[in-house]
Structure 1
Amino acid sequence: MSSSGFKVIGRILLATGGGYFASSSAMAIFCLLLVTLGMPRADAVTLGIILVFAFYLCLILWVFAARALWRPVAVLSLLIASGYGLTAFVGHGG
């Protein structure tokens, strides 16, 4: 397989896997923020679920549109680490 083939496979894996984990951690951050601001938990989760679909699509498009692959890798890694770290630090809210 050629070098460009590996780059495409890398972008596909990053877009699907990294985008999934980054969008789920962004949803956790968003829901924690909304609940902290006083929104009922059910409404915060519903709004988060609705918005995370558009966010996931934007992440997938950005991974394929980026000229250099290190930027999406860095941003997605930072988002995943901060989202899951904040969730582990704050807890599930129960």
Structure 2
Amino acid sequence: MFRSRLEVVARVLLAVGGGYFASSSAMAIFCLLLVSSGVPRVDAVTLGIMLVFVLYLCLGLWVFAATALWQPVAVFSVLIAASYGLTSFIGHGG
């Protein structure tokens, strides 16, 4: 019983916190790629903000649907690391 409650708490924290950081990282990647392909910055950010709400919802639902908790953790970690790597490689604009 205690293990079940602990797993639910871990999933809630991962869905809220990890989903937020992973979706914001995905938005950064998406916006950087759009801006580097020639889309105006304001349009890239607006499109990224609209799509990140759907992505955040999907990531949160996936955390609760996944049978193993390590799968969302791994994907969230890869998204966050890729965002930091891409931002340092391309730059943050200017």
State the 1:86 CA deviation.
Answer: 1.4
State the 1:88 CA deviation.
Answer: 2.5
Taking the TM superposition and a 5 Å limit, the aligned residue runs for 1:52-71 are 52-71=52-71
Aligned to 2:30: 30
Structure 2 residue ranges without an equivalent (≥5)? none
**TM (normalized to structure 1)?**
0.95
| Cα distance in 2 for residues equivalent to 1:68 and 1:62 | 11
Taking the TM superposition and a 5 Å limit, the aligned residue runs for 1:1-94 are 2-94=2-94
State the 1:84 CA deviation.
Answer: 1.9
State the AA in 2 paired with 1:72. Answer: P
Q: Deviations over 1:52-94 (max 9, x none)?
A: 0000000000000001111101001111111122113322111
**TM (normalized to structure 2)?**
0.95
**SS of 1:93's equivalent?**
coil
Identity of aligned residues (%): 73
State the 1:36 CA deviation.
Answer: 1.2
Q: CA RMSD in A?
A: 1.0
Q: Across the two proteins, how many residue pairs are aligned to each other?
A: 94
Structure 1 residue ranges without an equivalent (≥5)? none
